Structure 1
C-alpha cells in the first residue's frame, strides 16, 4: 500500500484531511507559539513539550526570553538559575495553553491540552513528582502533566491522577510501560470514584516514543553485531504503538496512546484511524504536508508478521518492548531507551541552567 495520497482532487493538506476525516487527534510536538498557531491551522488540537523542546523554543526567541529572564531575576532576587529557568518554561506553557483553550472547551477536555513535563531531576522522588504535577495543573485549565513511566513515575501517576491531574506519561517506549501507565490511571480514577470525586474531566494519554525505541534497537543491535534488514527497525516503534493501542481499546482504558519522537512518516501514516493521538514535531508536519502523505486509516493493518518474527528472534531488546510481559516494572528505568532519554532530558535542564546563568551573570 502506497504511503502517498492518490490524486483524488482533495486539496486539503494531508494533516488536515486526517484530522477532519479520522478519529485520530493531531497534537503538535512544540510549545513555540508561532509554530503551534500554524499547527492549529493544520488541524492540531493539542501540544506536547519536554525539556529539549522548551530549551529549543527559548533559544529560538532568545532576545525576548533573555529580557524576561532579567525581569524575573529582579522580581525574585533569591531565585537560582533552575528556578528562573522553570518560571520561563511555565510562562511558555501558559502562552501555548491559551492558544488551545477554545478546543479544550469545545471537546470538554478530551483535546485542547498543553503538556508540560515535570523536572527530570525529580525522577527519583515520587512525592516531588506529584507535588510538581499538582502545581503545574493549576497553571491553566487545559494543562496536562508529563511524568516519566519509570517505577517511581507509575506510583506518581496514580497519586497525581487521584489528586485530579490529567497525565501524559512520557519516557515510555514499551507495551509493558504503557499498560502499567493505563492501570495506574485506572487505579487513580477508581480511588476518586470511591470518594465521589469527578472523573469526567480528564484527558490522559500515554506516550510511546516510537522513534526513540527504533534508535535504541538500532544501537543495541549494532553493539551486539546483529544484522537484519535495516528497514525492519523502522517498523519496531510502529508495531509497539499499534499493539498498545489495540490493548487499550480492548480493555477500555480511560487513556489514549500518543505517538511521539518521529523518525519516519510511518509513525504518522500507519497509526491513522484509531482513537489515539499522533504528535509530530513542526518540521515533520511540514514534510508530511509537502509530500502529501496518505491519510488513509491504517491502524488496523498489522505490521508484516515476518518483520515482527525477525525482530523477535534476532533483536532481544525488541521483545522487551513489544511483549506485554517483556519488561518488569523494576526494569523500566534500566531499559536502554529510558536511560538514554532521561539523560538527554537531564542534559537539557543543565543547558537551561547554563543559559540563565549566562544571562543573569554574564562572563567578563
Structure 2
C-alpha cells in the first residue's frame, strides 16, 4: 500500500471503480467511513435498533420529544418517525457527495416495513413517501414477488431503489429487469433518469450462513473452505451477467463474514456496504488492493457446492428458481424473520419509553 493512502480500503476507493458504504445509520460511524473514502450508507430495522442500543444517549431526548409532540401516536408511529429522522441526518452528511457526483453516489438507504413483503401497493406507497424525505434517499424493498413489482413502479415514479433480502443470481436478474422496465417507461414519457442510481444487494454472507445451516441440518460433509466462497461465487456470476447485459442497476455486496467478500470484489463497478466492525478490520489488514473481480472462483469449489447443495444451484444458476419461489428460499425466510424480529425489538424499546411504571 502506498504511503499516500490511509488503508487498503482507502486505496481501493481512491484507485478502483469499487465503492464502499457504511452499513449503519450511525453518524459517527458514517463519518469514520467517509474518512477512508466511504460514499454511502444503509439502514434496516435491525441496524436502527442496534444503533439505538449503542447510542441511546444521542436519541433518548428526541424520542421523548416525539412522544410529547405526537400525543396520539402509537409506538409504530414514533419508531418510523425516528427512523426517518435518522435517515435524513445521514442524507445531510452525504449530500455534498451526492451533488458532486450528480446522484451516482452519496445516498443513504431507508428500508420499507418488512411486514409489507407480500404487498406491492404498500411497498410502493411507503417508498414514494420516503422519496420525499431528501433528494439523496434510496429506498430498500425486499426481493420478493411483490418487491419485483414494486421495483418497477417505484423506478418509474423516479425512486432510486435498493433491492434487499436478495441472495441469488435469479433475484439479481429479476431486479435489474424490473428496473430497466421502470426506467424505459419513464424515459418514454421524456422524464429524466440521469440522477437516478438503483442498486441490487446480494447478501453474500447470508447465503454462506444458509448453506452452513443446511450442512448442519442434513449432516452434509464438504470441504469447509467451500462454504466461505458460495456468496462470492454467486456475486461474481451475477456481476458477469450484469456486465454482459448492460444493466443500469449497480450490484451491492452486503453481510460480511470474511475478507473474501471484500477482497474478491475489488476492481468491480460495484458498491460494498460494510459494517463499522468490518471496515476497521479491513482498514487494519495487510491485504493488497489488487483487482480480483475477474478472477474466477476455483471450479472445484463450484463443483462441490453444486453437488451437495441444491440451494446453491438455485442461487448460482440464472434460471435457478422462478420469482414465485423468492420469498420461500431459505436465506430469504431467515432474513425476513430476523428483520421482523429486529423491528419488534425496536418497537419494544420505544414502547418502554412511552409506558413507564412509576
Q: Is the TM-score greater than 0.5?
A: yes
- Structure 1, unmatched stretches of 5+, are 1-6
CA distance in 1, matches of 2:74, 2:8: 45
Equivalent residue, structure 2, for 1:87: 81
CA distance in 2, matches of 1:8, 1:25: 19
Q: Is the 1:173–1:337 Cα contact (8 Å) retained in structure 2?
A: yes
RMSD: 1.1
* Structure 1 segments of 4+ aligned residues over 6 angstroms from their partners: none
Q: Is 2:198 the partner of 1:204?
A: yes
Structure 1 residues 10 and 59, CA gap change in structure 2 (3 angstroms): same
CA distance in 1, matches of 2:2, 2:44: 38
CA distance in 1, matches of 2:29, 2:171: 30
- C-alpha deviation, 1:62, in angstroms: 1.0
Deviations 1:168-198 (A, max 9, x none): 0000000000000000000001111111111
Equivalent residue, structure 2, for 1:171: 165
Deviations 1:250-272 (A, max 9, x none): 11101010000000010000001
- C-alpha deviation, 1:314, in angstroms: 1.1
Equivalent residue, structure 2, for 1:118: 112
- C-alpha deviation, 1:63, in angstroms: 2.6
- SS of the equivalent of 1:206 reads strand
Deviations 1:188-234 (A, max 9, x none): 01111111111211111000000000000110122111110111110
Q: Is the 1:245–1:257 Cα contact (8 Å) retained in structure 2?
A: yes
Equivalent residue, structure 2, for 1:275: 269
Given the alignment, which residue of 72, 92, 97 partners 1:98? Answer: 92
Q: Is 2:31 the partner of 1:37?
A: yes
Equivalent residue, structure 1, for 2:122: 128
- Structure 2, unmatched stretches of 5+, are none
TM-score, L = length of structure 2: 0.98
Structure 1 residues 61 and 319, CA gap change in structure 2 (3 angstroms): same
Given the alignment, which residue of 136, 146, 160 partners 1:152? Answer: 146
Given the alignment, which residue of 304, 308, 311 partners 2:305? Answer: 311
- SS of the equivalent of 2:214 reads helix
Q: For 1:1-364, what aligned pairs fall within 5 Å after superposition?
A: 12-364=6-358
CA distance in 2, matches of 1:77, 1:9: 56
- SS of the equivalent of 2:274 reads coil
CA distance in 1, matches of 2:71, 2:62: 14
CA distance in 1, matches of 2:198, 2:206: 21
- C-alpha deviation, 1:9, in angstroms: 5.4
- SS of the equivalent of 1:262 reads coil
Equivalent residue, structure 2, for 1:3: none
Deviations 1:56-103 (A, max 9, x none): 112222133222111111111111001101111111111111111111
Deviations 1:11-49 (A, max 9, x none): 531110000010111111111000000000010011111
- SS of the equivalent of 1:61 reads helix
Q: Is the 1:69–1:360 Cα contact (8 Å) retained in structure 2?
A: no
TM-score, L = length of structure 1: 0.96
